Structure 1
């Protein structure tokens, strides 16, 4: 196990970094292989801006 410093990585060890990388890559691969209907970027961004605007008024 190789220790990492906060300057090198957000992870404490190379093993933690490798585990996160494997998890993230698997998640991306599942999303890319998904047959679920895609949501257009503009629709997602409109929803996000609505959430941001509601948060500003609170």
Structure 2
């Protein structure tokens, strides 16, 4: 029996639909990357990207504050 999801929590009606979509999307993305023939593609973990962006935002905020003083 499928596990029903709340429309507030998910755009999918069931967990099974969400998992099937996730599998399909990952397969499509992997195929696109293989077809792109891009040997220089680098995958950076989400946490690393977020840490880098937070550092950039902090640096920009400090520069703006320094200009205002």
For the criterion TM > 0.5, the same-fold answer is: yes
The runs of at least 4 consecutive aligned structure 1 residues that moved more than 4 Å come to none
Q: Deviations over 1:11-42 (max 9, x none)?
A: 00000000000000000000000156xxxxxx
**Which has the higher Rg, Structure 1 or Structure 2?**
2
Q: How does 1:1-58 map to 2 (within 5 A)?
A: 1-35=2-36
Decide whether aligned partners of structure 1 residues 9 and 35 sit closer, same or farther in structure 2, where only a CA change above 3 A counts: closer
Helix, strand or coil for the counterpart of 1:34? Answer: helix
Runs of at least 5 residues in structure 2 that lack an aligned partner in the other structure: 38-69
- What CA RMSD, in Å, does the superposition of the two structures yield over aligned residues? 1.7
Runs of at least 5 residues in structure 1 that lack an aligned partner in the other structure: 37-58
Helix, strand or coil for the counterpart of 1:30? Answer: helix
TM-score (norm 1): 0.58
The structure, 1 or 2, with the larger RCO (C-alpha pairs under 8 Å, 6+ apart) is: 1
